[in-house]
Amino acid sequence: MTELPLRLAVLISGRGSNLQTILDTITQGRLAARVMLVISNRPGAAGLAVARAADVPMAVVDHREYPDRESFEHGLSAHIDDAAVDLIVLAGFMRVLTAEFVQRYHGRLLNIHPSLLPAFAGLDTHARALAASAREHGASVHFVTAAVDGGPVIAQTRVPVLEEDVPDSLARRVLEAEHRLYPLVLGWFCEARVALKLGTVYLDGLPLAAPVQFAYEAQRE
């Protein structure tokens, strides 16, 4: 059984707004978790300042200092295993992970991706959604597998695309939606409600036929 609070490692490469939201949600007493460690693969990631301000231990594992992906990942694992975390939360972490790494943390490795997967895996999702005249866009929280952005999806938040949207405006609303979705799904882990078994997501003991769906409504200004 998982002991409360759930011990998290958050892996980032950049801005760290999802990290900030997770930390805020914990501080507000709305998430029974503790961020034990933040790891960035980029020394200059703005998210490191977020970790510093919250007094969270952090490590930089700079992929450029390792000869190959495997040794880089050994560097990551050394920190993760030292911190004895329950869950590894990718939040804007921009490195592809090997099958070996993903297997090592099977069922304990989550990512948030800014699209309604399987649509728009990969980069530049907002511009691609607009170019495809998508009427809806959004974000997905999924278990990480060796297939990039291809692991089983737990939940999605759907964001209507507006006529006047440009990539930045759409990205802003999707990010707001992400900030609601990620802590919510992490809360399910805190309550031991979600698990991955044989490639299928289980919620409250039942297999999910499809990801749980949320509809995002923009906050009024």
Active centre residues (catalytic): 113
| Long-range contacts, 117-122 (Cβ 8 Å, 24+) | 117/142, 117/149, 117/150, 117/153, 117/156, 118/150, 121/148, 121/149, 121/150, 122/148, 122/149
Neighbouring C-beta atoms of residue 89, cutoff 10 Å: 27
Q: Which stretch binds ligand GRF (CB under 6 A): 34-42, 74-82, 106-114, 195-203?
A: 106-114
> Does residue 176 touch ligand GRF according to CB under 6 A?
no
Q: Minimum distance between the CB of residue 18 and ligand GRF, rounded to whole angstroms?
A: 3
* End-to-end Cα distance, the chain: 43
> Does residue 140 touch ligand GRF according to CB under 6 A?
no
For the record, the structure tokens of 23 come out as 């930390």
For the record, the structure tokens of 60 come out as 């930089």
Q: Minimum distance between the CB of residue 174 and ligand GRF, rounded to whole angstroms?
A: 7
Please name the amino acid found at residue 185. V
Q: Which is nearer to ligand GRF, 171 or 196 (CB)?
A: 171
> Does residue 63 touch ligand GRF according to CB under 6 A?
no
Q: List the x/- string, 2-41, binding to ligand GRF by CB under 6 A.
A: ----------x-xxxxx-----------------------
Q: What residue ranges bind ligand GRF (CB under 6 A)?
A: 12, 14-18, 47, 91-92, 112-114, 139, 175, 178
